Amino acid sequence: MTAARPVRPGDVISFNRLRSREHPRGTYGMSRRIVVAGGAGHIGRRLAAVLLDRGDDVIVLSRHPERATRSGPIPGRLERWSTDDPSGLARILDGADAVVGVTGVPVGPLPWTRRRRTMIRASRLVPTRAIVDAIRLLPPARRPRVLVSVSGTDGYEGQDQLAATEATPTGHGFLADLGRDWEAAAGNAEDLGVRVAITRIGYVLSPDATTMRLFALPFRLGLGGPLGSGRQWFSWVHIEDVLGLLMLAIDDPRHRGPINAVSPEPARAADVAAAIGAALHRPSWLPMPAALIRLIMRESSILALGSRRIVPAGALALGYRFRWTDLRAAMADVLRPGDQRVRASRSVR
């Protein structure tokens, strides 16, 4: 196996670079075995691809492998798993270097009925607890070195006077409470001698994201504009930086606890609307009334109307340099047609 250097803090990583065969292969000198739970989803599938491309042995866990492959091949080796079979999961995790949990059904845009709330919570908490239970069954020498678990930024909602950092106490509410419970479930692996790195992901700008397509649809029809007043803060992050930060969580032993995966430059909702309009060469003049959004989305309207002003203090302290900090440039990148989506590729130093 060819010796290689890990992704280090300060590396500038673009999507093309992450997918390139020129990317350093392996981590800490050699290829590692990394298990991705939820690897058939939007973020998990992309993460599995870039890990595979850099030379890691990637195992993707899916409870429904047949369904997972309908939207295309899964990067890496696909394994069926069940949250009701900790022994079977322990056999898969035995000797793995890292486990990444990116499970969970989308939190929007459907209204949060009682059934939907149960699905949102269970799809995050049950797999995370199952992973920790499986790790507990392994002898210490065979346990993964790190458990990387994603989480949300909704605990910061409404705390806007000063930009929130990882040190800001989180609030309360359905998603805020879920995030706290989700992180606590992952954090139990610390008692087993496993480093736990939490990646709190903001609103992801990605050409494959369903919410991105929904946001853009009114603009494509010439009916786009700000959501509500347009004054609420919007903490966004480009998919390339999500991948870069997840790889940092895997590779950097200093990364313990939560890190905010958001751009250093949060924006107002009106600026987001203007960026979408500019990217699509469409007007952004027609606001969508807050009352209409609340009528359609009910309690989940907080996803569109809530205000989140967040900065990635933890990532910056580790020396991570964001590839995308300009909202208009990032929006233009993800909304242009695929055959025109040419990203500047920068060398990993």
Q: Is the pTM of this model over 0.85?
A: yes
Lookup: tokens for 273 = 């609307």
CA dihedral 13, 15, 20, 25 (to 10 degrees): 50
Q: Angle at which helices 86-93 and 114-137 pack, to 10 degrees?
A: 60
Dihedral (C-alpha) 34, 81, 129, 144: value to the nearest 10 degrees?
A: -20
Q: pLDDT: is 338 or 289 the higher one?
A: 289
**What is the structure's pLDDT at 109?**
83
Tell me how far apart the alpha carbons of residues 199 and 316 are, in angstroms, rounded to a whole number. Answer: 14
What pLDDT is recorded for position 66?
83
pLDDT score for 65: 84
Peptide bond into 218 cis (omega under 30): no
Find the mean pLDDT for residues 26-34. 67
In order of 186, 200, 301, 325, the CA distances from 180 in angstroms are 10, 11, 21, 27
What integer is the mean pLDDT of 243-266? 97
Q: What is the pLDDT of residue 30?
A: 64
pLDDT at 145 over 50: yes
Instruction: Share the mean pLDDT of the chain.
Output: 88
Beta strands in the chain (DSSP E): 33-37, 57-62, 77-80, 98-101, 146-152, 195-201, 203-205, 233-234, 236-238, 257-261, 267-268
What fold does the segment set 15-340 form as a domain? Rossmann fold (3.40.50)
Nearest to 206 by CA among 246, 243, 233, 260: 243
Residue 222 near residue 277 (C-beta atoms within 8 A):
no
Q: Which residue has the higher pLDDT, 38 or 26?
A: 38
**Domains of the chain, residue spans:** 15-340
* Gap between the Cα atoms of 162 and 168, Å rounded: 10
pLDDT in the model for residue 6 = 41
Is the pLDDT higher at 159 or at 148? Answer: 148
Q: Note the pLDDT of residue 148.
A: 98
Give the model confidence (pLDDT) of 182-197 as tens digits. Answer: 999 999 999 999 999 9
Over the stretch 42-91, which tens digit does the pLDDT of each residue have?
899 999 999 999 999 999 999 888 888 887 888 999 999 999 999 999 99
The single residue listed with the structure tokens 């990646």 is 199
Helical ranges in 147-268 per DSSP H: 174-187, 210-220, 239-251
